[in-house]
Chain A
Amino acid sequence: GAVVSQHPSRVICKSGTSVKIECRSLDFQATTMFWYRQFPKQSLMLMATSNEGSKATYEQGVEKDKFLINHASLTLSTLTVTSAHPEDSSFYICSSGPGEGSPLHFGNGTRLTVT
């Protein structure tokens, strides 16, 4: 079945630094990838839709300059949290699916802690 790999699983960084999270589709071509953020004991909130070869589409309230998304190939999308602050600490999850109506397959998530 479709597999999505996310890396790293956990990262701790200092305030003001940038962190890059990678999301790879291992056995299908992902023209679209979705980035979600999850706060403790809450649901997943869509941050942005990453489109291969074009600009990402951000949800209302998500700062595109803080959360940089690059989707340069059909198997890789990256999310870079720039100038991270403690309030950016969260669980970030990427997902994708092989076609319309298919379930999304999720990476295992990245736990970001900004100190």
Chain B
Amino acid sequence: AQSVTQLGSHVSVSEGALVLLRCNYSSSVPPYLFWYVQYPNQGLQLLLKYTTGATLVKGINGFEAEFKKSETSFHLTKPSAHMSDAAEYFCAVRGYNNNDMRFGAGTRLTVKP
């Protein structure tokens, strides 16, 4: 079964610093990969997705992620953190045939002024 592992349940950065949230996937074939953000008491908002094609994927709010097959990774980055980026981030994988989506444990991002 496909799964994703997020390294680090909590990441804290200073405003303006680089954000790096780690995600590794487990799949025998390249899956569909996603990053979502969740603010308190809200649903999930899609940041970006990888399906096929270009391995560097740009998303909303200045985030991007790179699909690295050799490392089975899909880490999320943002060059300069903003206070409004503080939230919970989930990496997710979805298989073929309209399968359900499986989530990592989540990483809480804190941004310090």
Interface residues of A in 57-115 (CB under 8 A from B): 91, 93, 95, 97, 99-101, 103-109, 111
Q: How far is the CA of A111 from the CA of B43 in the complex (A)?
A: 11
* CB of A47, distance to nearest CB on chain B (Å): 10
From the candidates A49, A104, A109, name the one contacting B94 in the complex (CB within 8 A): A104
Closest partner residue, chain A, to B41 (CB atom): A111
Check if A25 is an interface residue, CB within 8 A of chain B: no
Q: Mark B13-43, 1 if CB is under 8 A from A, else 0.
A: 0000000000000000000101010000111
Interface residues of A in 25-74 (CB under 8 A from B): 31-32, 34, 41-44, 46, 49
* CB of A45, distance to nearest CB on chain B (Å): 8
Do the beta carbons of A44 and B97 come within 8 Å of each other? Answer: no
- How many B residues, CB 8 Å from partner? 25
* CB of B81, distance to nearest CB on chain A (Å): 21
A43, A93, A99, A100: most-surrounded residue (chain B CB, <10 A): A43
Q: How far is the CA of A96 from the CA of B52 in the complex (A)?
A: 20
From the candidates A6, A31, A32, A43, name the one contacting B90 in the complex (CB within 8 A): A43
Q: Is the interface of B mostly helix, strand, loop or mixed?
A: strand
* CB of A9, distance to nearest CB on chain B (Å): 8
Do the beta carbons of A49 and B32 come within 8 Å of each other? Answer: no
Closest partner residue, chain A, to B33 (CB atom): A103
From the candidates B96, B97, B105, name the one contacting A43 in the complex (CB within 8 A): B105
Do the beta carbons of B43 and A108 come within 8 Å of each other? Answer: yes
**Which residues of chain A are within 8 angstroms of B41 by Cβ–Cβ distance?**
91, 109, 111
Do the beta carbons of A101 and B106 come within 8 Å of each other? Answer: no
Indicate whether A100 sits within 8 Å of B100 (C-beta atoms), given known contacts A6-B43, A107-B43, A109-B43.
no
Extra 9 A-B pairs, beta carbons < 8 Å, given A6-B43, A49-B100, A103-B46: A42-B106, A43-B105, A44-B44, A46-B102, A95-B101, A99-B98, A100-B96, A103-B49, A106-B36
